[in-house]
Chains A and B, each alone.
Chain A
Amino acid sequence: MLNLSLKEISQALEEKKFTSVELTKFFLNRVKKHNPSLNAFITVDEGKSLAMAENADQLIQSGKKSILTGIPIAQKDIFCADGWKTTCGSKMLDNFISPYDSTVIHKFNNAGAVNLGKTNMDEFAMGSSNETSYFGPVKNPWNLNCVPGGSSGGSAVAVAARLAPAATGTDTGGSIRQPASLCGFTGLKPTYGLVSRYGMIAFASSLDQAGPMAISAEDCALMLDVMTGHDEKDSTSLNRKKENYSNSLDKEIKGLRIGIPKEFFEDGLDSDVQKLIEAALKQYEKLGAKIVDISLPNNYLAIPAYYVIAPAEASSNLSRYDGVRYGYRTKEYDDLMDMYFKTRQEGFGDEVKRRILIGTYVLSAGYFDAYYLKAQKIRRLISNDFKVAYEKCDVIMGPSAPSVAFKSGEKQEDPLAMYLQDIFTISTNLAGLPAMSIPAGFVNNLPVGLQLIGNHFEESKILNVAHIYQQNTDWHLHSPKGID
């Protein structure tokens, strides 16, 4: 059951080689065995998962199976799931049992998938190392002294260590792609608005987007087929015809124009990582693609703009955690103000507080124009850079992260160094574009990810381009040793 693709698992279930209950037990056992060292899951509920598996087995028995029916999926703890503790990695929601399903969870449930558990994450998805979680840091299975990346670190490790066949993540500034790069698997952030945000706990609403995290592009495509679709409950959800993403994976890529932004290969990129990215591009040339030099001149402004817009939205989104209706409330307080102060002081971690402070500041009277409005202008400039670039190329490629996984604790005291982890991923969130990270080799036995950025709604194209690469390489099939 280990190392099978989703398609293979689906087929095995169909052919009754094993049942969903057996499969689910298999992965639950792996979680039980390895979670103490990896800390990838916050909540595991065998009873609930097995009940879903039994249900799936009945569907399979009665011939009502769809592709993901019976397959256990690890769900990032940012997705509200009815009856499940949903913490978003925060003490603030440590006691929060969601009374409803997010649209993403609902869609997986409808497809008959099994919820394998809720995965660890940076608190409120704020972080690039999964060290800000109230539930402790997640360890990188390739080297337990290293971080897995973040914020979807738990889902990343669940996939990389094969604790789950696939997982969900969310990506506000790189939270799917950077951990995919650091843990060596395939992750996709769709076009903004393609996957409903309903029930996905908000960090920065104009940037948050959910996506699949799995071994291969093909697996991601199958997941995406389930996750996308217009949702009336999310006003920013795009109302367009639902596509099938797993149909066009095998298309030839001869003549494909790959744009290489020179800004992605300047300061800050580790030279060993750069070599592997260049090797991957060579591979693409061998497969018939053409390399085109492009420029994203405003990319250097992406991080400053992001660290105005995202905290601004977050400061407002996180106001609801006040101890009044649900979640953490301080034990002793004198009056309302005291209750607010203590609850938020005790309930939020440092990184969350830092961003609330930044966000509150940039929205304040007198600073709004200089920060928030200016950042929105930069956002338009960045979008425009991509627009211009896509006149010359079909996909854009570069590194997903500036380096391989770094040591735990290394950047914890230096937020700016941590923020630079997302230097290659953030601009696509600001522009709302779809992007992927796929494994492209190893430096010192740590994975390196190649980033593929598509134009709006071109998930099919980047999945196709990634799939062809994976048909000709096996980087994505490597798994960490010692996790058996």
Chain B
Amino acid sequence: MDWDIVIGIETHVQLRTNTKQFSGASTKYGSEPNSQACLVSMAYPGVLPVLNKESVNNAIRFGLAIDAEIASRSIFARKNYFYPDLPKGYQISQFELPIVGRGKLSIDIGSDSKDIRILRAHLEEDAGKSTHGIIDGKSGIDLNRAGTPLLEIVTEPDLSSAEEAVTYAKKLHNLVQWIGICDGNMQEGSFRCDVNVSVKKKGTSELGTRREIKNLNSFRFIKQAVDYEVNWQIERLEDGGKIEQATILFNPESGETKSMRSKEEANDYRYFPDPDLLPLIITDKDIEEIKKTMPELPEEMKTRFEKDLGLSAYDAEGITSSRDVTKYFLKLIDLEANAKLSANWVLGNLFSQLNDKEIDISDSPILPEQLSTLINRIEDGTISNNAAKKVFEILWKDTGKEVNLIIDELGLKQISDVNEVDGIVDEVLKNNSAMVEEFKSGKDKAFNALVGQVMKASKGKANPAQVSSILKEKLSK
């Protein structure tokens, strides 16, 4: 039987603010446990929340970036449940009236683009962390993270494969960093996805029962977890079983998902408007002010690169896949490197090396200044593409070396003197009369063989295009 996969994602984005959502405590990561737990973080008797305006501005930035409605009036609510790392016994979140309403984010699937509808994004606060085993036989609680501002971004169930889920997550991950509202550090938990997965018989409209995979903090885990979960659900259904609504956890070590709690065990969160906070009012003027500070968005830049620089859609997408990649690319363009060649080199050789060594492009050992020189040497015909690859390899290993010097040292300069190439061609034609005959009797393949001979004779230094045109000219005589 064929099945449709239906996926929706809730992403918790830690907002990049200096202080917490409702207090002045620092949000710095990795400090001594509880050194950033102020009285509000610890929910002391009598303390009250005061909303962080910076996080509100961040939420508005996100709303603008996904072309969403921004609520002129939104409400903070209390989500009540008991847990040791939730000091107040409730989380302040937004329930009925979120700050950001409907919007969309488009993703590229192959050569098509698909709009993923964003249902809402709301402000809330993070919980602390429980640690087990540090203190003998006891559990510890670190409230440094308690109260850290979060924006929870919720999609409609518009994603239909693990690949789409990952593509969406990557796109969103790029966007929130691009507009400066999140540091994007997934290992530190700044960007975490809860993925809702269900399957239904192909073509039917009724949605299946979903299970929610909690807290996925890497793209690889999203892929693995969704793949596993989809197979699990399909197998179960095909065996005549039923899917129960549940919250599940993914174990990266086993690659399996496991139920954490069923619907029956789910909390009744007893949401109600938080009487300690007034409704959040946002005026058109507030929005206009923030609009002025918005950068050109990746989508806009992508379109511009296609139009103005002649990049392919695929290349433009790749170049705008992260702010750092774009920055690197734009530096190459500033240094007057050819745009298409630049895109090819960044997305090709540079990316493959960076990915292989797990290096961030902002830490690339090959600097834009070096790569632009290399690209310019290709464009002005000094070296061939193949020669450039050799130079690139040397640059990667021997960082800081001058491009032109490497070309000279290895003698990679192309022979661009027409007379010299002319001479080599004559020599080759003389020594390969059989091939020439073949060509003249209609065997086109022989032409390529002749080009190969000329390249060999020139020790690879001849310009293939030039060789080809000279050969053509001579053979047609």
B46 touches A235 (CB 8 A): no
CA–CA, A175 and B89, complex, Å: 26
Cβ of A233 and Cβ of B270 under 8 Å apart?
A: no
- Which 9 pairs between the two chains have the least Cβ-Cβ distance? A319-B89, A206-B275, A363-B270, A205-B275, A199-B46, A320-B43, A201-B45, A80-B46, A201-B46
B276 at the interface (CB under 8 A from A): yes
One of A96-104, A180-188, A244-252, A423-431 contacting the partner: A96-104
Q: What 0/1 pattern do residues 364 to 385 of B give for CB contact below 8 A with A?
A: 0000000000000000000000
| Contact, CB under 8 Å: B45 / A198 | no
CB distance from A399 to the nearest CB of B (A): 29
A102 near B272: Cβ-Cβ < 8 Å: no
Which chain B positions have C-beta within 8 A of A363?
80, 270-272
Query: A235 vs B272: C-alpha distance in the bound complex, in angstroms?
Result: 17
Option from A197, A312, A315 in Cβ contact (under 8 Å) with B48: A197
A199, B278: Cβ atoms closer than 8 Å: no
Residues of B within 8 A of A93 (CB): 45
A400 at the interface (CB under 8 A from B): no
- Which stretch of A144-152, A364-372, A451-459 is in the interface? A364-372
A326 to B141 Cα, complex, angstroms:
13
Q: A319 to B80, Cβ gap below 8 A?
A: yes
The answer to whether B39 touches A99, judged by C-beta atoms less than 8 angstroms apart, is yes
B residues 56-102 touching A (CB-CB < 8 Å): 78, 80, 82, 84, 87-90
Tell me whether A227 is interfacial, beta carbon within 8 Å: no
Bound CA–CA A318/B88 (angstroms) = 8
Look across to chain A and name the residue whose beta carbon is closest to the beta carbon of B88.
Answer: A320
By CB atoms of chain A within 10 A, which of B46, B139, B271, B272 has the most?
B46
The reply to whether the CB of B49 lies closer than 8 angstroms to some CB of chain A is: yes
Interface flags, A315-342, vs B, CB<8A=1, else 0: 1101110101111000000001000100
Indicate with 1 or 0, residue by residue over A83-115, a CB within 8 angstroms of chain B CB atoms: 000101000010010111010000000000000
Q: Is A325 touching B43 in the complex (CB atoms < 8 A)?
A: yes
Q: How many A residues touch the partner, as a band?
A: 35 or more
Contacts of B270 in A (CB 8 A): 315-316, 360, 363-365, 368
Cα A236 to Cα B268 in complex, Å, equals 27
The answer to whether A316 and B89 touch across the interface, beta carbons within 8 angstroms, is yes
| A86 CB contacts on chain B under 8 angstroms | 45
Pick the contact of B268 from A99, A100, A340, A365 — CB < 8 Å?
A: A365
CB-based nearest A residue for B277: A235
| Alpha-carbon separation in the docked complex, A198 to B139 (Å) | 31
- Whether B45 and A336, one on each chain, are in contact in the complex, defined by CB atoms closer than 8 angstroms, is no
Q: Which residues of A contact B48 (CB under 8 A)?
A: 197-198, 233-235
Measured between C-beta atoms, what is the minimum distance from A347 to chain B in Å?
13
Residue B436 at the A interface, CB < 8 A? no
Instruction: Kindly list chain B residues whose C-beta atoms are within 8 Å of the C-beta of A79.
Output: 46
Say whether A474 faces chain B, with CB atoms less than 8 Å apart: no
Residues of B within 8 A of A102 (CB): 46
Q: Is A273 an interface residue (CB 8 A)?
A: no
List, in ascending order, chain B residues with CB within 8 A of A163's CB. Answer: none
Would you call B45 and A316 a contact (CB within 8 A)?
Answer: no
How many angstroms between the C-alpha atoms of A364 and B270 in the bound complex?
5
Residues of chain B within 8 A (CB-CB) of A315 are 80, 270
Answer yes or no: B44 CB below 8 A from chain A CBs: yes
Are A368 and B272 neighbours in the complex by a CB distance under 8 Å? yes
- 27 A-B pairs whose Cβ atoms sit less than 8 Å apart in the complex: A99-B39, A99-B44, A199-B47, A201-B45, A202-B46, A202-B276, A204-B275, A232-B50, A234-B48, A234-B50, A235-B49, A235-B50, A318-B89, A319-B89, A319-B90, A320-B45, A320-B87, A320-B88, A325-B42, A325-B43, A327-B45, A336-B84, A340-B82, A360-B270, A363-B80, A364-B268, A365-B270
- Complex contact A205–B46 (CB within 8 A): no
Contacts of A99 in B (CB 8 A): 39, 44
- With a cutoff of 8 Å between Cβ atoms, the chain A residues found around residue B78 in the complex are 316
CB–CB B82/A233 < 8 A: no
- Given A319-B90, A336-B84, decide whether A235 and B275 contact each other with a Cβ distance below 8 A: no
Bound-state CA distance A233–B277 (Å) is 11
Check B278 against A236 for contact (C-beta < 8 Å): yes
CB-nearest residue of chain B to A87 = B45
Tell me the B7-50 residues at the A interface (CB within 8 Å).
39, 42-50
Complex interface: chain B residues within 8 A of A96 (CB): 45
Contact indicator A320/B89 (Cβ below 8 Å)? yes
Taking the complex as formed, is A389 at the interface, i.e. its CB lies under 8 A from any CB of chain B?
A: no
Q: Give, as a whole number of angstroms, the nearest-CB distance from A82 to chain B.
A: 11
Residue B435, interface by CB 8 Å: no
* A205 cross-chain contacts in B, Cβ below 8 A: 275-276
Q: Tell me which of B39, B51, B271 contacts A100 (CB under 8 A).
A: B39
A340: B residues at CB distance < 8 A: 82
B46 near A316: Cβ-Cβ < 8 Å:
no
Closest CB in chain B relative to A124 CB, distance in Å: 10
Partner of B88, one of A236, A312, A319, A364: A319
**Complex contact B82–A322 (CB within 8 A):** yes
Q: Is A422 an interface residue (CB 8 A)?
A: no
Does residue A219 face the partner (Cβ distance < 8 Å to B)?
no
How distant is A35 from chain B, measured CB to nearest CB, in Å? 24
Q: Is A218 an interface residue (CB 8 A)?
A: no
Q: Which residues of A in the span 198-250 have a Cβ within 8 Å of any Cβ on B?
A: 198-202, 204-206, 232-236
Q: Contact mask B270-306 → A, CB, 8 Å, 1/0?
A: 1110011110000000000000000000000000000
Max chain B CB contacts within 10 Å: which of A199, A232, A312, A372?
Answer: A199
Residues of A with C-beta under 8 A to B51: 235
B47 and A198 contacting across the interface, CB-CB below 8 Å: yes
B149-197 CB contacts (< 8 Å) to partner A: none
Please judge, given known A-B contacts A233-B50, A336-B84, whether A316 and B272 are in contact too, CB under 8 Å: yes
- A202 to B43: give the CA distance in the assembly, Å: 12
Further 13 A-B residue pairs, CB within 8 A, beyond A235-B49, A316-B272, A372-B272: A86-B45, A96-B45, A199-B46, A202-B46, A205-B276, A236-B277, A316-B89, A316-B90, A319-B89, A325-B43, A336-B84, A363-B80, A363-B270
Q: Which of A197, A326, A365 lies in contact with B44, CB distance below 8 A?
A: A326
A171 within 8 A of B: no
A313 at the interface (CB under 8 A from B): yes
Assuming the contacts A236-B276, A236-B278, A364-B270, asked whether A324 and B141 have C-beta atoms less than 8 A apart, the reply is yes
Residues in B neighbouring A236, C-beta threshold 8 A:
275-278
How many angstroms between the C-alpha atoms of A327 and B78 in the bound complex?
23
Known A235-B276, A236-B275: A200·B46 in contact at CB below 8 Å: yes
Distance of B354 from chain A, by nearest CB (Å) = 46
Which of chain A's residues have a CB closer than 8 A to the CB of B139? 336
